[in-house]
Structure 1
């Protein structure tokens, strides 16, 4: 078809040159016509004659404008020919059509067929035009029987419809890919922990290990590790906020949580990372669509889901349009399913010297993670225990912030405020979680200002000793059995549960209303937290 079109274009080149000259003359006439139009308005008796002249000029100019519109349209169609062909072969393959049971596939076929019909019709009519007698061509053009501009407009409208359909298909793919939105997880975690305090994390921006990872092209993996309660998750939240200020980066992240079924496995990590990359750069969804168009939502299920997702993320990270990407995974120790596979993937991805992808991961000091990461070639390691001075300063800043809140809400005098800050500073041992738990206890309405100093002495230093004291506090309660039962249920359920669900699971629910359950959860406040009627573990 392309050969026939090009042959016809060559054959009619001389006629086109003549019509181009006529067109230039007609443009000059049109300029004069505008002036005459104004003059005729002042002489109504000449209007009828002038209308006849204008109609004649319009008819005479049609062969020129039709020829121009045809050349413009055929040039557009030919420029899109390869794209049309690839689109059809990609999306209308019979095997794929049989594999997809969605109504979207049927609609897609309809749109593509309509588009291709218009494409072929335009080319065939153009070939016929180039073979006709010139007198017949002029006659058809004078009456605009072919309406080349209208046909081109129909093709472009069909393309627009197809693009809209592709957008719908992309949205459906993203919807099925999304298991959780890491942006919402980040917000929830920050809210649960009392908000992100910039002064408590910005020390890392001046840290040598962090700067080497950020600035050196071959330093592609940063591992931040430390003991429980050292503030790793909030530190990564802060790093993410700082990196988001750099518009040149594509930043994707994921927060693992062992207590959340959607956040504690390797496939969920990959889904979250792919989802955020595709949201930021929509063209990347094509790598997901290549398999999604075949399998649909089933692609994200079954025993081969890891193979599919790891292949897709590998293709995305190798996409030449993805210039610089940073992937962040928090709390690898809480990825209880598939952690070894995930670590292997991260190591392999970060071991390519020419890669434009950098990773940040965090975890506790677990031997299996350290053993795996010893094999990573281009990594920097930040051990929080070896950065004790910086971490302790950050904890002191956090203590100052929390004590200011307590002093304002509880109306401490300066002596009480200084005593609380001094005790927390002496006993925190660089542990954010310890400070948070003690301040949570001191914030309880039942703790009066006159009891603060004596109550402080009940909080021993160290998380283990503090947890023991908290359990003793629960044992002293008249609701000790119910508190322990609530703790046991929250520990063993598959996902975080609501107060209504707890009411069904707890023994003898008939004598407990929602308000009383709320009180029990608050009494377990050092272990449990309630957000939007959903119960979460504090950790």
Structure 2
């Protein structure tokens, strides 16, 4: 009889199908059972060998399922086989397909932790926190390190050579042909994934067949959800999968992990939906068992022997779990996790806010000690700072009057209050948007307190654990939730006028919300800006204005005097005059008299005086000082030596019109480009001393640290007024043409293209970015510049011809050079896909359409490009690419050349109209509809589609597009996509105004669909009182069933404690004792949520406390 001590691998199955599959992969089967079995062990075992490992296989008793039974089998196995050191749970499970995981029937899912979360997610045990996703409280052990290492090794082997799972299964059938009937692979036509919607008849998701280069079955690695329940609900599946990044559902693993630390291997036999059947169970069990055998063959027996016995690990884990649970009760599991430095770094990487401290520190260094006291000691600032309720202060002044340095002074003064602050910055595109301002403020808030971190963690979790970016609206909601609970808050925003003009209205509305909403009782907001009409108009519309200060010359005269005196008496640039005090006095007197409250003017004049080497030149310069900043900049440009002019103009063009500052090394290569030369770029022509780059236009350009690490150096314009002057049309006539936008961008595009054409093909991405630092910038921005130039007819003829020639060379069909740069930076995927040359292939027409290059598109079409060809990119074809990016002229051209306006293509969007509608491109939507686009196409390409064009626009709050589509006859009640219908799309994403528009245009308020089942449930779950009221007035059924988790609107409102919604529903006929959902009744839900007020309300309205209600979680 076999000795139980000889067996080191334990293999557990749940059902007989899995048990048979496991037995078939034994290399040899040992006759008889163990010679000694524990008296309490009721398990039946199969013993054998795989490779050099002795394996014991057990299964759950017939008819028993779930975590408890699995735990019992594992416990008894370890009693009888105390030498087991490696555990496997092998069998079948329900798959969770998603955009990131193309899971098919027969595929294998292997348990693996992700984002710091355990490989097995026990969703029977957890807690609900208002406004946050489900939080697990059960703590599960991880499999031994040996198994995790072997999994990684096998994954690498499969990636290099592919697997032989299908061949291994066929060998089993050769030995046991009778197994084929139940265990062979079913016909691929039976692998059907249905949309999780209420539409009838069910719709099948269209998925491309796997190619010969792809593994089939595929192996997936990720989190597995486990609980004592069979999941047959696609909506629940997708919701939990999205929140917790789940790949598979099963019923036993959670019962094993703390009693039998093991690797979980599941073959996918269904999709955890209502279409569940047993057709694929046999084959799925075989693929899982085949993978398990391959895994064991990766592990040398001596390594298994070196592992601790599982029975010893379990006893240690039990003690550790008890200790951890004690710590949780004391400190709180969520806070403890979020406090870790790793988690904070992960959240920060996801949020990716720009760093305003760089601006703050830079301005603080430039500040002269003692300046700003006129503000800090004044009544207005003191009143704003100490007022016992919310307060607002607007400081405005001309460009160059020292507002940014004043902001840094204010922030320093408020340092003990931990102020929030942001500097809008014309030279950095990342610091010109309202959304990035909110991101930066949230980051500052979450470093101020642990409780603030919970709100950010909630936002992170609700966006696929950081795999999806939050909308600007959800960021604002998170910000407001945090400041609502933080108490008194001080916020300083500098240079509102440097925020993108199209975003200022949203910014001003946000500022007004802070002031007027009673929830934010004590927020002190201070902003600075130039005087501009839209800013003044927005501020004057505020319901109350506490303080405004206009920076006039007399107010800051003392600050200017202090600065001038410091430069003259202590600065190195004018130290030559220290031996003659009367000339120092002369400089101070003249500069101060003519300053006119303009700090920037003072700085420029003192810089200019530093080059005066003798008394005569100094006196002459003081006599001829320019009067205005325009005069200052005009004189500076005139004095640029002729030998420097070409490069100076290039540098100023790029800095005035680029989306971001340029690195010094980028500018060095840019100035070395010769668009008329051969070659176009020669590394030998780089400046020998990069530090001299500022000499080309020194007083107009400054060098600044590139980021927090300060390792690199960027060049940027010295002040916003420089950019304003260069782009205003006020530049002198001889160089004016160089700074007109069309001419400048055509020139910039040509320089980028010449550089790219010289580098050619065959250079790896890493070599490109390392040896040619301008390459990545060119790849990112050349199309932006070229599209502007191609879109207009006023471009200089020579520049335009050069642009055409260079573009044709880049898109030449024989060289396909454009692919090198598409893969270095793909506009398809924003700022991802760097360094992947050769990995992606798209057509020239697709790439040109994506970039909005109307002339290039026309040229490619005239050369025979197929207007309807699939481009292989993110958007599928040229029309959808142009539509998604809002290139109306390209869309118009493609349509005129016969593009199929209703073609189904792309990885996410179903058609051109849907992509344009979702992104809010009004003119493109109008063109597509007017040219025959099916306005009501349901959008069924993927189960994660946003559905019809109206649903897509509603989901993303595109009000103007929604209005347009409704005016063109869009059906408000089409059922499709992940939201079900347009009304649900608007409600789930919090777009109240769009929801009102849809209801006003005939949306069915009782239509079923989407994650929350129906509109009233959604409004109740999201605490949208006015919308709930509107829906009820339009006939919404207050007792409708169907919502995820809570079944009905009353229970959804009760679990979160939304007393006003609860009362509204009851007043309008909601059944106070309606049953269903996770908690059974509204009363049980309110008790579970600990909302005493709602409990009392429900009892007063007749709730019965003795109903046999469920209480699952």
Q: TM-score, normalised by structure 2?
A: 0.34
Gaps of 5+ in 1: 1-82, 118-144
Q: 2:594 maps to what in 1?
A: 427
The verdict on how the C-alpha distance between 1:449 and 1:485 changes in structure 2, with shifts beyond 3 A counting, is: same
Q: 2:1038 maps to what in 1?
A: none
Which of 563, 570, 573 in structure 2 is aligned with 1:398?
563
Q: 1:98 maps to what in 2?
A: 241
**C-alpha offsets along residues 217-269 of structure 1, whole Å, 9 cap, x if unaligned?**
3451111111101111111100000011x3xx341100001221110011011
SS at match of 1:490: helix
SS at match of 1:389: coil
Which of 400, 403, 414 in structure 2 is aligned with 1:243?
414
Which of 576, 595, 606 in structure 2 is aligned with 1:411?
576
The structural deviation recorded for 1:520 is: 4.4
Correspondence 1:274-353 to 2 at 5 A = 274-295=442-463, 296-300=465-469, 305-319=471-485, 322-336=486-500, 337-352=502-517
Answering whether residue 376 of structure 2 is matched by residue 210 of structure 1, we say no
Q: Give the number of equivalent residue pairs.
A: 412
Q: 2:421 maps to what in 1?
A: 253
**What is the CA–CA distance in structure 1 between the aligned matches of 2:696 and 2:642, rounded to whole Å?**
9
Which of 619, 643, 650 in structure 2 is aligned with 1:478?
643
Which of 504, 513, 531 in structure 1 is aligned with 2:669?
504
* Contact map agreement 2:126 2:134 (CA 8 A) in 1: no
**Per residue, is there more helix in 1 or in 2?**
1
* Contact map agreement 1:114 1:158 (CA 8 A) in 2: no
**What is the CA–CA distance in structure 2 between the aligned matches of 1:257 and 1:235, rounded to whole Å?**
15
Answering whether residue 332 of structure 2 is matched by residue 173 of structure 1, we say no
**What is the CA–CA distance in structure 1 between the aligned matches of 2:718 and 2:347, rounded to whole Å?**
34
**C-alpha offsets along residues 85-132 of structure 1, whole Å, 9 cap, x if unaligned?**
4479722496554115769x99xxx99998999xxxxxxxxxxxxxxx
Q: 1:122 maps to what in 2?
A: none
Answering whether residue 534 of structure 2 is matched by residue 368 of structure 1, we say yes
Which of 691, 694, 707 in structure 2 is aligned with 1:521?
694
Q: 1:233 maps to what in 2?
A: 404
Answering whether residue 716 of structure 2 is matched by residue 536 of structure 1, we say yes
SS at match of 2:597: coil
SS at match of 1:377: coil
Q: 1:224 maps to what in 2?
A: 395
* Structure with higher RCO (Cα < 8 A, 6+ apart): 1
* Contact map agreement 1:252 1:273 (CA 8 A) in 2: yes
The structural deviation recorded for 1:155 is: 2.9
**What is the CA–CA distance in structure 2 between the aligned matches of 1:187 and 1:112, rounded to whole Å?**
55
Which of 441, 445, 470 in structure 2 is aligned with 1:273?
441
Q: 1:264 maps to what in 2?
A: 432
**What is the CA–CA distance in structure 2 between the aligned matches of 1:220 and 1:212, rounded to whole Å?**
8
The verdict on how the C-alpha distance between 1:534 and 1:400 changes in structure 2, with shifts beyond 3 A counting, is: same
**What is the CA–CA distance in structure 2 between the aligned matches of 1:297 and 1:213, rounded to whole Å?**
38
**What is the CA–CA distance in structure 2 between the aligned matches of 1:365 and 1:481, rounded to whole Å?**
35
* Contact map agreement 1:254 1:330 (CA 8 A) in 2: yes
The verdict on how the C-alpha distance between 1:381 and 1:287 changes in structure 2, with shifts beyond 3 A counting, is: same
The structural deviation recorded for 1:186 is: 1.4
Task: Please provide the CA RMSD for this pair.
Answer: 3.6
The structural deviation recorded for 1:179 is: 2.0
* Contact map agreement 1:429 1:462 (CA 8 A) in 2: no
The structural deviation recorded for 1:316 is: 1.1
Gaps of 5+ in 2: 1-124, 137-235, 261-314, 675-680, 706-712, 720-1113
**What is the CA–CA distance in structure 2 between the aligned matches of 1:111 and 1:517, rounded to whole Å?**
61
* Contact map agreement 1:332 1:363 (CA 8 A) in 2: yes
**What is the CA–CA distance in structure 2 between the aligned matches of 1:116 and 1:290, rounded to whole Å?**
31
Q: 1:463 maps to what in 2?
A: 629
**What is the CA–CA distance in structure 2 between the aligned matches of 1:333 and 1:439, rounded to whole Å?**
27
The verdict on how the C-alpha distance between 1:115 and 1:221 changes in structure 2, with shifts beyond 3 A counting, is: farther
Q: TM-score, normalised by structure 1?
A: 0.68
The verdict on how the C-alpha distance between 1:115 and 1:287 changes in structure 2, with shifts beyond 3 A counting, is: farther
The verdict on how the C-alpha distance between 1:448 and 1:458 changes in structure 2, with shifts beyond 3 A counting, is: same
* Contact map agreement 2:396 2:550 (CA 8 A) in 1: yes
**C-alpha offsets along residues 147-189 of structure 1, whole Å, 9 cap, x if unaligned?**
x998743533677895654334344113321322222331134
**What is the CA–CA distance in structure 2 between the aligned matches of 1:464 and 1:521, rounded to whole Å?**
21
Answering whether residue 326 of structure 2 is matched by residue 153 of structure 1, we say no
**What is the CA–CA distance in structure 1 between the aligned matches of 2:389 and 2:378, rounded to whole Å?**
18
Comparing 161-170 and 483-492, the one that deviates more: 161-170
Answering whether residue 342 of structure 2 is matched by residue 199 of structure 1, we say no
SS at match of 1:419: helix
* Contact map agreement 1:291 1:299 (CA 8 A) in 2: no
The structural deviation recorded for 1:410 is: 2.9
SS at match of 1:204: helix
Which of 341, 358, 368 in structure 1 is aligned with 2:524?
358
**What is the CA–CA distance in structure 2 between the aligned matches of 1:286 and 1:489, rounded to whole Å?**
42
**What is the CA–CA distance in structure 1 between the aligned matches of 2:592 and 2:439, rounded to whole Å?**
41
The structural deviation recorded for 1:392 is: 1.6
**What is the CA–CA distance in structure 2 between the aligned matches of 1:482 and 1:314, rounded to whole Å?**
48
**C-alpha offsets along residues 456-496 of structure 1, whole Å, 9 cap, x if unaligned?**
3343132122122112212x443122212211121111110
